[in-house]
Structure 1
């Protein structure tokens, strides 16, 4: 795939628009392209900040969260990212917040929508020194509210794109240590993600919804993908698996979870299945809305199987969590 000679934001945007058509129906190639584009864009942002403010004053790591970290991006996606840097006094805070803002601007220019919830390195919550990150994670766990645990689960799905991965690994070890000392936290994590809309009715029909002007649709990400993503995130927490990719988490589960591991190929097919219907979408707002009336009978049946397998996975996950917490 031809790459741009000069990595300005506009040139990177042009490269995206001209190249993504070649990979939009192949899950692996599409996500490899996203990885490369994000990395080049962030490097360009670092160069811009360096030219104005000088080189970074401390070692740091830039990490993505959400679907980018899990290697599960669709054709369009939003931004979820953060920064962690080595500092004993936080004097470098202004520099890295400046860098975070430039990265957010750069990614938006290239085509990644800013996160509505401000889960970006331009926000102080997601741009901190290693010491401050450690303290924040401890605070999130000790508060144990729905919001702070949601922040923690968001953070756990993270992968370093630029910098030293050990900085992120050290923070994940903090989470694992807390879980070892307080296994009942897993119950709270499960409660945080178990809320989900029913997608199949009592007569076996697909339950459709409306999103603004869009009718008779299923939100493919929230309704169909998330049962797999959420379940494997919880199991990764319990089994101390640092990898954020759902498919890798399946592979790294212990053999005693063989019934869960068998669903890996189902999830792999689901990731490929969704790309069949997203090739012509022009915005992040509609990329996950699946028009049910456009599906063939076979496609509807395939979709129902993904939904049923996701529901079964939730039950298997709950059973394993209960066992780990000493419950029958």
Structure 2
């Protein structure tokens, strides 16, 4: 008799990691043992301090909020898990009492996964364990407030970029070149030469690896006359081979090679010499993987003398970004790493350009990235937004000084364009005289925008509130920031204009909860995740943080986190906005990597139902924060 409930559970679990990487029979065994829990809004599944039980959990419908109670006995949201998300894995990983509280955010259905059954069918599956460790660590880090409040499970999180690389599954060579154990060395060498490879695996009739021959073996055993060229491969090969399974990590592979003083690992079906060969991991493969990590990429960027080298290094960062997203590394860490790489690319482009200039800079200056790079949210290749501020000079030297920096900016923006960052269509770049000015001119410009606001001023100025100093004289940038906030203190009208601009994009869902898509043009029927979902949150965070006179926080999620600290009555809203922004940015980035574009426009028909539901969940705070802006800045009669 069929177990229809187990089949429904199975059909759902197979859509989500780590269950989607299990064998069908193993997954069905788990599905038969799953308990189904129904929760009303506000129901608590477990509390901090409760003894661990024999299950971990996955959300079927609804949402579960995980809280951490801090030293002041106040609750802080750690994560909001929705459909397909796992939580409560501490009993599976650490066998310790719960350190979080799990409460239903709305009416929810939760699957309780029996730990004993799960462990039995996954005991030899390192990919599953890797995913669970990452999920465990991710939920430990607070996605809303300062990083230090989330170090509950710090021992389980890779604590450096190198650790993250070591945590990756090794990328081995599949379908390796082999020869039969009855072959001669000459036959094996001809194969190696024709395929331009440095080793060949000797296999038996059952395709099991019995030995390996490398260039070194040929040099030491044939070229020296120890054996003739027609000797059987069994006389020359190194045997037995060292084997491992398909899902070994980079760190495991490297350790095995060091331990056995070898340069190649044979990858077999079950990880032993008694099963079929499926691949080879070489020392070169390990080095290539290790080379694709932030530390190595940053070194390549700093050593680069030409734009071509910078482009190659930045393209590596996209591969790194994709790998981190696939492993569910916390987005906060990914953003910091990619932002550091983007800034390093800009710095190197400036340094290369300075060497091409006929003379050193006449006065001190600062290069200001704007927009997404200024907010440290730039994940993919996007268009450029930048500016230059330089030290004041006598009036009769101004034009000559500005000309120097305009020429420098042309070289830098040209390099950035070759690297992959498109020119700004509106020419909001440092090569434009409007965006290359002395400190006094910039002060006057911002004062004009702020004290005499209009729609054009808001359009031009809003992007410039997200600047930071990536190269040059930080004191010039600090001086400009102080001047900007001094001007803001003299008016409230400017905030109304900013508020009006922040409301220009309504919440992304229509009256019948349908996605609002583009109505005409090349993007007709596509969903613009940037303008309809991300920009409303970016604009709201900027306006609110400026109104609080807070300097030095440009990142959107960090702005909302700061606002949650400043306004206790709106804490839950701002935390939700921070979470939604990061989830939307992650979604946009994944779409961009998938389609090799900016990820800005999305074909809704390509999304699964679950992806659409997750997107819609992220839209909820947009309407609420826009309503807050209307009330806070009295915009109902101003729009």
TM-score by length of 2: 0.48
2:451/2:487 contact within 8 Å kept: no
Query: Which residue of structure 2 aligns with residue 273 of structure 1?
Result: 587
Moved beyond 6 Å, runs of 4+: none
1:45/1:103 contact within 8 Å kept: yes
Supply the distance in 2 between the matched residues of 1:50 and 1:295 (Cα, whole angstroms).
48
Give secondary structure in 2 for the equivalent of 1:159.
coil
Give secondary structure in 1 for the equivalent of 2:357.
helix
Q: CA deviation at 1:98?
A: 1.0
Give secondary structure in 1 for the equivalent of 2:591.
coil
2:415 to 91, 94, 106: 106
Query: Which residue of structure 2 aligns with residue 166 of structure 1?
Result: 475
Query: Which residue of structure 1 aligns with residue 310 of structure 2?
Result: 12
Q: Residues 171 and 205 (structure 1 numbering): CA distance in 2 closer, same or farther, change over 3 Å?
A: same
1:249 to 546, 559, 563: 559
Supply the distance in 2 between the matched residues of 1:136 and 1:123 (Cα, whole angstroms).
15
Query: Which residue of structure 2 aligns with residue 302 of structure 1?
Result: 614
RMSD: 2.3
Higher deviation after alignment, 147-156 or 104-113? 147-156
**Larger strand fraction of residues:** 2
Q: CA deviation at 1:44?
A: 3.3
Task: Determine which structure has greater relative contact order: mean sequence separation of CA pairs < 8 Å that are 6+ residues apart, divided by chain length.
Answer: 1
Query: Which residue of structure 1 aligns with residue 629 of structure 2?
Result: 317
The answer for unaligned runs of 5 or more in structure 1 is none
Query: Which residue of structure 1 aligns with residue 575 of structure 2?
Result: 262
Query: Which residue of structure 2 aligns with residue 206 of structure 1?
Result: 515
TM-score by length of 1: 0.89
Supply the distance in 2 between the matched residues of 1:145 and 1:306 (Cα, whole angstroms).
31
Higher deviation after alignment, 288-297 or 49-58? 49-58
Q: Residues 277 and 51 (structure 1 numbering): CA distance in 2 closer, same or farther, change over 3 Å?
A: closer
Q: Residues 188 and 281 (structure 1 numbering): CA distance in 2 closer, same or farther, change over 3 Å?
A: same
Supply the distance in 1 between the matched residues of 2:508 and 2:342 (Cα, whole angstroms).
35
**Larger helix fraction of residues:** 1
Query: Which residue of structure 2 aligns with residue 29 of structure 1?
Result: 334
The answer for unaligned runs of 5 or more in structure 2 is 1-292
2:561/2:575 contact within 8 Å kept: no
Query: Which residue of structure 2 aligns with residue 76 of structure 1?
Result: 381
**Count of aligned pairs:** 322
Q: Residues 320 and 169 (structure 1 numbering): CA distance in 2 closer, same or farther, change over 3 Å?
A: farther
What CA deviation, in whole Å up to 9, does each residue of 1:270-308 have, x standing for no partner?
Answer: 222333322122334xx3111111111121111112222
Q: For 1:37-48, what aligned pairs fall within 5 Å after superposition? A: 37-48=342-353
1:66/1:158 contact within 8 Å kept: yes
